[in-house]
């Protein structure tokens, strides 16, 4: 089980779990310049992303959405999505997950820059 306030490093950056409750999970996610997360979806949760630093380029199904500092985007359950950092410094956002399950094994990847299944 993941611990609160611990940095979990990934090839694209890192995340910190701020809250992990029965009805929600909250992460602070930092994406390195030029990096992006996998194109993925979830069966058991939806997500709300609030950008606190930088600009996020969000893929949401067939749309690309630019989300600036102070703006947010909602990711519905089962929607294909990814976020990328087109900037020159870390892009940081807060992710609020709601639904019935928040485990990392509820990630179905369609594309990944780092070869993860």
Encode pLDDT of 25-63 as tens digits.
999 999 999 999 999 999 999 999 999 999 999 999 999
Distances from the Cα of 105 to the Cαs of 41, 42, 43, 55, 108, in angstroms? 11, 9, 10, 28, 8
Class of domain 10-102: mainly beta
Residue 117's pLDDT is 79
């Amino acid at each position: 089980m993941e611990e609160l306030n611990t940095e979990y490093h990934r090839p694209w950056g890192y995340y910190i779990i701020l809250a992990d409750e029965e009805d929600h999970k909250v992460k602070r996610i930092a994406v390195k310049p030029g990096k992006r997360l996998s194109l993925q979806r979830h069966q058991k949760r939806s997500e709300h992303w609030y950008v606190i630093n930088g600009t996020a380029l969000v893929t949401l199904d067939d749309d690309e959405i630019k989300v600036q500092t102070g703006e947010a985007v909602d990711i519905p359950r089962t929607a294909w999505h990814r976020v990328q950092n087109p900037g020159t410094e870390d892009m940081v956002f807060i992710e609020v997950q709601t639904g019935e399950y928040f485990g990392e094994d509820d990630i179905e990847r369609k594309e990944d820059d780092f070869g993860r299944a």
